[in-house]
A and B are shown apart, each in its own frame.
Chain A
Amino acid sequence: MTLTPGADLGPSQFPITRADLVRYAGASGDFNPIHWSERVATDVGLPGVLAHGMFTMALAGRALSSWLGPDDRLVSFGVRFSKPVVVPDDDAGVALEVTGVATEGEEGRVRVDLTVTVAGEKVLGQARAEVAPGA
């Protein structure tokens, strides 16, 4: 199995709760308090505690990785953090949804354009990856 142009990928859904943000902070080393302290987040003018952009990117990368064949190789992966993901202090959190479309890229690569949404609104812009397909 290899990723082939024309494939519609996903959807993959991932819940994000405050506990996930704390775990990601520890694992990544990004302890910016806007990702765990409502007080600091609102003091700096944010609507609430935000998911780390890199956490939402990691979840998009998780979906992307699940779509690759065993010999496919990820060559590039980039996103813009276009809309902050506010994570409420409850047990349900928010649901991140990731879909992708594979097309022919440059130099024999496969290009994947990802759509990453929360409650129907895009939270990542220009989310795309290049994959070197395996044999």
Chain B
Amino acid sequence: MPVPPDLAGRTFAPTAPYDVSAAKIAEFSAAVGQPAGPDGQAPPTFPIVVAFGAMTDLMRDPEVGISLQNVVHADQRFEITRPVVPGDVLVAELTVDTLRQRGGADFIGTRSEVTDASGAHVCTAFATLVHRAPEPTDLP
């Protein structure tokens, strides 16, 4: 099933607040092999942890209902106001900026605004997700 055509323009509820601990940054840093920076700054792609939560909420939405394994991440861009540091409490609010449907695939252009506990901007994460529904004959 393709996603509903009226998905474009929809803004989803913000994700649950995410408490960023030094331990979580250390775990991410170890996984990418990049030690935390001054003041415990997380590596630059760390905000994907929060933005991915927003993308997961989008995929699980009853009106969207797409399975992660049928989704390809086509591109990703961060516009960064400041690095993430331990003690940050972050939320991501995702908007579907664009939706193109062609060749049986949905090209979903998303923008997730990541803000801290004061509501100040931390970064914006832009991602294009390409969804290909399985062929009907492939369904169990």
Q: Please report A residues at the B interface, Cβ cutoff 8 Å.
A: 14, 20, 23-24, 26-30, 32-34, 40, 44, 53-55, 57-59, 61-62, 64-65, 70, 73-81, 126
Contacts and interface: CB of A to CB of B under 8 A. Distances in A.
Given A32-B68, A78-B76, 16 more contacts: A28-B28, A30-B52, A40-B69, A54-B45, A54-B52, A58-B43, A61-B32, A61-B34, A61-B44, A65-B37, A65-B44, A70-B38, A76-B78, A76-B80, A79-B77, A80-B75
Q: Which of B52, B69, B79 has the most CB of A within 10 A?
A: B69
B34 A32 contact: no
A63 to B, nearest CB: 9
Closest 8 CB pairs of A and B: A78-B77, A27-B31, A58-B32, A62-B34, A80-B75, A27-B28, A61-B44, A58-B45
A59 B69 CA distance: 23
A27 B30 contact: yes
A27 to B, nearest CB: 4
Q: Which DSSP category, helix, strand, loop or mixed, fits chain A's interface?
A: helix
Nearest to B78: A77
B74 interface: yes
Interface residues of B, number: 32
Contacts of A30: 52
A79 B75 contact: yes
Given A65-B43, A74-B44, A77-B77, A59 B70 contact: no
Interface string B96-111: 0000000000000000
B28 A75 contact: no
Contacts of B83: 74
A74 B49 CA distance: 18
A114 to B, nearest CB: 12
Given A28-B28, A40-B69, A80 B74 contact: yes
A65 B68 contact: no
B139 to A, nearest CB: 13
B80 A62 contact: no
Contacts of B72: 81
A79 B31 CA distance: 20
B114 to A, nearest CB: 14
A62 B43 contact: yes
